[in-house]
């Protein structure tokens, strides 16, 4: 018998919700204005972006080592690995990635950023799980306009 005070992570299941839409939708115009006003380019940073239980579970369940199926990148400024194989994602990571590709989430981001034609990436091409180690750096990508994605999964951004 499950103790009702146990978290979903303790029970080994995924929380019913990983993202609190009401929190963002209620203040969308204010958040969008902050996004547009930030310099040197429009951007946002959020505290507690995910539902706290989902964030804790994802941190706990995220693999600590890249297995053989991970693609490794080693270069002067890269020391990382990534995988886009759904079957290797912990259930909570799958739930988060699927939510971020949901029509409701994409519509929220489209309204927040003003990027028309924004599309989900259900194939997580270039996405998925990533790990970085000492010596790695991270870069930001600015997307000002997205165009339609072709049937091959190739999209264009300018």
- Taking only the tens of pLDDT, the chain with its 158 residues reads 333 444 444 445 889 999 999 999 999 999 999 999 999 999 999 999 999 999 999 999 988 877 778 888 887 777 888 888 888 899 999 999 999 999 999 999 999 999 999 999 888 887 888 888 776 655 544 443 333 333 333 333 33
**146 contacts 118 by C-beta, under 8 angstroms:** yes
């Amino acid at each position: 018998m499950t103790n009702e005070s146990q978290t979903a992570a303790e029970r080994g299941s995924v929380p019913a919700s990983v993202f609190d839409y009401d929190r963002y939708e209620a203040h969308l115009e204010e958040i969008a204005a902050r996004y547009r006003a930030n310099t040197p380019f429009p951007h946002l940073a959020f505290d507690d972006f995910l539902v706290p239980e989902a964030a804790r579970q994802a941190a706990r369940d995220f693999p600590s080592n890249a297995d053989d199926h991970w693609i490794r990148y080693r270069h002067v400024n890269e020391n990382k690995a990534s995988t886009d194989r759904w079957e290797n994602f912990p259930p909570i990571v799958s739930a988060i990635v699927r939510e971020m590709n949901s029509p409701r989430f994409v519509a929220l981001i489209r309204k927040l950023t003003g990027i028309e034609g924004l599309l989900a990436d259900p194939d997580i091409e270039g996405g998925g799980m990533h790990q970085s180690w000492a010596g790695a750096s991270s870069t930001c990508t600015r997307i000002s306009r997205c165009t339609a994605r072709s049937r091959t999964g190739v999209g264009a951004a300018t």
